[in-house]
Structure 1
Amino acid sequence: MSFTLQPIRVATGFDEEGMMVLDEEQRLVAVLVRLSDENEVAPGQWYLEAGFGRIDGTSHPIFSNLDMAQDWISQRVAKGS
């Protein structure tokens, strides 16, 4: 499954660099936020701020890069197919 990543600012109060993740039908499936380099837990990594549909849930993982995030999202979407 392929996704379109679209940069967006996210009003989290501290980490604003974000990416909207759109599926092949251009539906919003997730919003990722890049944690700042000053973040004490996972500097520079990507956090699942919000998920929709099969991505929605209590799990909000952190990914070292956008490819890993897309792989994780793809696995969740595929489970519903």
Structure 2
Amino acid sequence: MTLSLQSIRIRTGSSDEEGRLVMDEGLLVAILIQLSADHGAEAGHWFLEVGFGNLGSPRPAPFRDLAAALAWIATQADTPSGEGVRDGVRRP
């Protein structure tokens, strides 16, 4: 898996506009949004706005930084369909 990021602004209807398209070898696998100051203690964290394939669920808590988000995406994408990874633990 080779993940890459592309910066993008996203019209969310809120002050959360800074986003990243996450691609695996040119295929879009997820969209991340950086949370604004409106989110208090989670400001600056990254939220999985949408994930495709195995990234569709479970929905994780916001990530502290992009490195944490990419680590979760890589782990989740490698999980067999029908299983999930939450808090670093595989769950059926």
Same fold (TM over 0.5): yes
Hey, what's the Cα distance between the residues in 2 that align with 1:18 and 1:74? 18
1:8 matched to 2:8:
yes
Root mean square deviation of aligned Cα: 1.7
User: What secondary structure is seen at the aligned counterpart in 2 of 1:74?
Assistant: helix
Task: Measure how far apart 1:40 and its partner are.
Answer: 2.2
The CA deviation string for residues 7-61 of structure 1, in whole angstroms up to 9 with x for no partner, is 111111120100000002x111000000013322511100000000110125142
In the TM superposition, what are the counterparts of 1:41-52 in structure 2 within 5 Å?
Answer: 41-52=41-52
Equivalenced residues, count: 80
**TM-score normalised per structure 2:** 0.78
**TM-score normalised per structure 1:** 0.88
Which structure's CA Rg is the greater one? 2
Unaligned runs of 5+ in 2: 82-92
Q: Percent identity?
A: 41
Counterpart of 1:69 in structure 2: which amino acid? A
Unaligned runs of 5+ in 1: none
> Moved runs in structure 1, 4+ residues, more than 2 A?
none
The structure whose RCO (Cα within 8 Å, separation 6+) is larger is 1
User: What secondary structure is seen at the aligned counterpart in 1 of 2:77?
Assistant: helix
